[in-house]
Structure 1
């Protein structure tokens, strides 16, 4: 096993009540081939029944890779992510690259080598990569055309920012340049803490790159492809956008004014999307996002991750 001081990259995996899926994620990371030493940190966010921690110990113990497994008692995905990154930086003090993959994902061969190579070559602060989705149940054309399943596309290049943490690399200097908590715990049960984090990184001047070769495979559960779920998710996306705007606008009035503009633009975008797809479900997304902004401005925020 490598000495902790020699580790150059740490892959962080927060998990919550999905041990079988976590096992698949871990197997894909353990199998990564690199020319640099790396480690794995797992944080189980279910202190009452930490089956994820048990699963991680069982798999990582015989793997021969440096690793650490923790249980985070404070429920909430931002608490788990903050704990994972903090423990990774402390346990592996010379690791320059901190990465994250979710417990419903699988790293494709070459993922870790490609994303670190891009960070080194471009001296990037943050690097993101594509997420290819596999639906556990047959998905309709309307579902597959839904904007929520869209992603950044195209060749590797510098971009303004990424929006999700499910396939990302963050350089240590980014954490050292931001105030704690790194992922804002106000987003614990709403979701969107990663989007707020990367928005803050962009505003702080950190450079973000897109690595087309760093592919992650995400498994989408059956309950996440229903019209009901996707419509609620669209509304929640708008709520997240409003909260982020409120935090960063410096004015209480600007986000509210933006809501009015968003409703008008959302209607137009929905009409154009329906003209393109001829399907109501994907076309409803822009208008429901605008509705979510308005609902959030009235103080009503969904909490899908609580419980």
Structure 2
């Protein structure tokens, strides 16, 4: 935890996810005067702890009682603090503040930014929180391109002239967890991690880039290899990850081609895995800092509201 400096606070900015919370006290130039992170995401705050959790963190940071607060993420979901209705894509990324929900509060102006939905028949989709990261990416100069936001539910977003035009969600991270804990593969995969340059991971990606439609058969082959060899196939966790990330990247390549550069919003091992997969698929890409993006998106919305 860091505490505020003597600089004048302009707002508090909160990225409120399903399982985690990040909060910053910012000055008007975007300088971070104080910050905290905790596991008090939406699930921990339902149904009525949101305000108390927010005020506890702001008090620990020494934030003034009337400091306005801008929020993005799952606090605005149905069943969250207050539902902030979705905006329908295409969306102007610098206008998210116009759809902000005003949360009743005795001393603060608290606004929750809306999520974005896509209503195309057969391609219905939703996001909450990622739109604010995309707004931050646009503010940093990404007016056109693709953005890949890996995670439990990975997003691929198409930005054109500063507008979020369309997006697709892939359940890559959730499928990895489900298959590892609740499928016939749970006794095959073993424990432990693997390196992003593991040949089993790269082989899984390459298989999906060659034929992404074969994924269910490739998944079962992990189990079959263990049965036939009498032992687990080499690095089965790495291969499973490669198959799932490879299927995602193959689908994105089929939808968008490889002519547009990809902004990859990831860090650590996750970034390295996607860097490997994107490179194998022929994408040009650069890595973006997700925390910096959401903070910038929140700050710009706060400036539009109160600046």
Quick check: which one's helix share is greater?
Answer: 1
Quick check: which one's strand share is greater?
Answer: 2
What is the TM-score of this pair, normalised by structure 2? Answer: 0.29
What is the TM-score of this pair, normalised by structure 1? Answer: 0.29
Larger radius of gyration: 2
Q: Which fold has the larger relative contact order, with Cα–Cα distance below 8 Å and residues 6 or more apart in sequence?
A: 1
